[in-house]
Amino acid sequence: MEKQTDIYKINDEKIYKRLLEDKDIILDDALENEMVINMGPQHPATHGVLRLVLRLDGETVLGIVPELGYLHRGYEKMAEDMSYIEFIPHTDRLDYTATMCNNVAYVLAVEKLTGIIAPKRAQYIRMIISELSRIAAHMVAIGTFAMDVGAVTMVMWTFREREKIQEIFDLVAGARFTTSYTRIGGVASDMDNVALKMTKDFLEELKPALDEMDKLLLKNRIFIERLEGIGVLSKEDAIALGITGPNLRASGVEYDVRRAKPYLYYDEMDFNIPTYPEGDSLARYFLRGDEVRESVKILSQLLDKIPQGEIIANDPKRVLPHKTEIYSKMEELIHDFMIINFGINPPVGDSFFSVENPKGELGFYIVSNGSGHPWKMKIRSPSFCNLQAIGQLCKGAMISDVIAIIGSLDPVMGEADK
């Protein structure tokens, strides 16, 4: 034992000697000085390519500067160069955990500008897929958040549930991940009885699974203590910073676009808007769980009420005809040709439309000059604005809390960085 200590001593002495010879190395104790470190842009806990520059005193965060721009794909620029229909697949790539919600938001924005109204069945299908997508997104959020603070089992459990939703999407849209399912004036294909049955079965299995997840985490003292009272965001600050979605409601503001400005048929649905007064990371975790339960409630009502009928509007000048008809009828072929080549031409003007996405309020501001592609399109993405709160939330926290706070805000860089 003594021998070993000697070896370490000799080694240390050698290292110190080497260090003293090297003029570039400063020998001050790092923990007794302020230091600046980088977290990201390639860091597993920053949920994508987010770079944070931290100023630390020991382990306490004195200041934090978030940097975006490592992903920037220029979607707003691209939108100006393509027709309204061509942009639908690109909306998938914004919040890639909730592709369907983005699809629905975008087509509703274009429909508001052009004045197209989709048939009732299509609207119901849009609501079903939006809510399923919301559950899937919250599952990813809850799972990765728990993983960030050390509860790795949770991510496997939540992804198991999400997988079932992806299978439903596979059946309905023909793709699991990049769905591009909606069309201007309706949806691409009908949701058949098999898909509806799958949704019903999924909902029944989800309820006990959610209870199990709660049991797993909420008896875990480490999980609770790492989140309780961490990253507190007051009601006033949340509003001033433009925070929306679950992060806003976890600060006690009862604002949900589905209730405030009902779109589709949300005004006919019976559901609650969960809120928490605490505004800390734990509240944000609880809130997402509660929202999943509300989505289950909405979905059960939708499955009971879904009407029969068409899934795409009959508006040949502006809505794409059915593929089968294009191959057999001249008129439809002409309309298809005109829409694809020249686009639907909305009236001159601008409109802003927003929906409640899993991350918050997703809005599209479209300026039309009457041609087939938008003159300008601005995407009001919730993650971008929510990330702005990091600076305030992390000040004075420990470095390990930064991870918990990022996870609790649930940013998706595809959306923040557009």
Partner 1 sequence: MDIKNLIVDKVRNQFGDSLIEVVEFAGDLSLTIDSKKNRELSEFLKSDPELQFLMCKDVTGIDWGTRKNRFTVVYHVYSFQLNFTLRIKCNLEGEETKIDTVADIWLSANWYERETYDMYGIIFKGHPDLRRMYMPEGFEYHPLRKDFPVLGIPNSLPLPNKID
H-helix segments, 244-372: 246-249, 257-260, 281-305, 323-328, 330-342
Q: Which of 9, 14, 17, 72 binds partner 1 (CB under 8 A)?
A: 72
Give CA–CA dist 79/374, Å, rounded: 7
Q: Which two tokens stand for residue 275?
A: 């809120």
CB of 68 to partner 1, least distance (A): 6
Kindly tell me the number of DSSP H helices and DSSP E strands found in the chain: 18, 8
Cβ proximity to partner 1, 167 vs 350, nearer residue: 350
Residues 115-134 that bind partner 1 (CB under 8 A): 115
The neighbour count for residue 41, using CB atoms within 10 Å, is 17
Cβ proximity to partner 1, 189 vs 388, nearer residue: 388
CB of 349 to partner 1, least distance (A): 4
Cβ proximity to partner 1, 76 vs 278, nearer residue: 76
Distances in whole angstroms, Cα of residue 24 to Cα of each of 11, 16, 20, 21, 84 = 21, 14, 9, 9, 57
CB of 69 to partner 1, least distance (A): 4
Q: Is 384 in the site for partner 1 (CB under 8 A)?
A: yes
The residues with which 83 forms a beta bridge, in sequence order, are: none
Residues 6+ apart with CB under 8 A from 201: none
Nearest-10 crossing angle of helices 281-305, 193-218: 160
Instruction: Return the half-sphere exposure (C-beta side, CA atoms, 13 A cut-off) of residue 150.
Output: 10
The beta strand positions in 223-314, using DSSP E, are: none
Helix (H) or strand (E) holding 365: strand 360-368
Q: Which of 49, 105, 107, 113 binds partner 1 (CB under 8 A)?
A: 113
Task: Kindly indicate which of the ranges 19-27, 51-59, 72-80, 282-290 contains the residues binding partner 1, using the contact rule CB under 8 A.
Answer: 72-80
Give CA–CA dist 228/279, Å, rounded: 10
Cβ proximity to partner 1, 69 vs 229, nearer residue: 69
Residues 231-250 that bind partner 1 (CB under 8 A): 237, 239-242
Q: Is 107 in the site for partner 1 (CB under 8 A)?
A: no
Give CA–CA dist 176/128, Å, rounded: 16
Q: Is 36 in the site for partner 1 (CB under 8 A)?
A: no
Q: Pattern 312-351, binding to partner 1, x per CB under 8 A? A: -------------------------------------xxx
Q: Which of 152, 156, 260, 334 binds partner 1 (CB under 8 A)?
A: 260
Q: Is 375 in the site for partner 1 (CB under 8 A)?
A: yes
H-helix segments, 232-273: 235-240, 246-249, 257-260
Q: Which of 55, 112, 176, 329 binds partner 1 (CB under 8 A)?
A: 112
Q: Count interface residues toward partner 1 (CB under 8 A).
A: 39
Taking CA 69 as the corner, what is the angle to CA 66 and CA 74, rounded to the nearest 5 degrees?
A: 145
Whether 408 and 385 have beta carbons less than 8 Å apart is answered as no
Q: Which of 310, 380, 398, 399 binds partner 1 (CB under 8 A)?
A: 380
Q: Is 370 in the site for partner 1 (CB under 8 A)?
A: no
Give CA–CA dist 54/402, Å, rounded: 10
Cβ proximity to partner 1, 186 vs 382, nearer residue: 382
Q: Is 74 in the site for partner 1 (CB under 8 A)?
A: yes
Whether 119 and 310 have beta carbons less than 8 Å apart is answered as yes
Q: Is 255 in the site for partner 1 (CB under 8 A)?
A: yes
Residues 387-416 that bind partner 1 (CB under 8 A): 388
Task: Kindly indicate which of the ranges 21-29, 149-157, 252-260, 297-305 contains the residues binding partner 1, using the contact rule CB under 8 A.
Answer: 252-260
Q: Is 58 in the site for partner 1 (CB under 8 A)?
A: no
Q: Is 385 in the site for partner 1 (CB under 8 A)?
A: yes
Cβ proximity to partner 1, 295 vs 354, nearer residue: 354
Cβ proximity to partner 1, 145 vs 384, nearer residue: 384
Whether 89 and 180 have beta carbons less than 8 Å apart is answered as yes
DSSP annotation string for 7-71: HHHHHHHHHHHHHHH-TTS--S-GGGSEEEEEE-SSBGGGTBS-EEEEEEETTEEEEEEEE--SS
> What does the binding site for partner 1 look like in residue numbers (CB under 8 A)?
68-69, 72, 74, 76-78, 80-81, 112-113, 115, 237, 239-242, 253, 255, 260-261, 349-352, 354, 361, 363, 365, 367, 375-376, 378, 380, 384-385, 388, 417-418
